[in-house]
Amino acid sequence: PPTGPQAQPLQPMNLDEAPTATKGQIVITAQKSAFFDADLGYGIYVGDVRARHPQMYIECEELELHMVKGKGMAETKPAPSTKDLDILVQPKKAESDGPPIEKADARGPMVTVEKMSEDGELQVGHCKHLIYDGKTGNTTLLIWPQVQIGNKLHKSTEPGCIMIIDPKGKLSTSG
Q: Which residues contact 168 (CB under 8 A, 6 or more apart)?
A: 117, 118
Model pLDDT, residue 94: 41
* pLDDT by 10s per residue, the chain, length 175: 667 666 667 666 555 554 454 556 788 999 999 998 888 889 999 999 999 988 789 999 999 999 887 654 444 444 444 455 555 555 444 444 555 889 999 999 999 999 988 888 889 999 999 999 988 989 999 999 999 988 889 999 999 999 999 988 888 999 8
The pLDDT of residue 75 is 43
CA distance 116 to 155: 19
d(CA 89, CA 21): 10
DSSP state of 91: B
Q: Is the pTM of this model over 0.85?
A: no
Tell me if 165 sits within 8 A of 115, measured CB to CB: yes
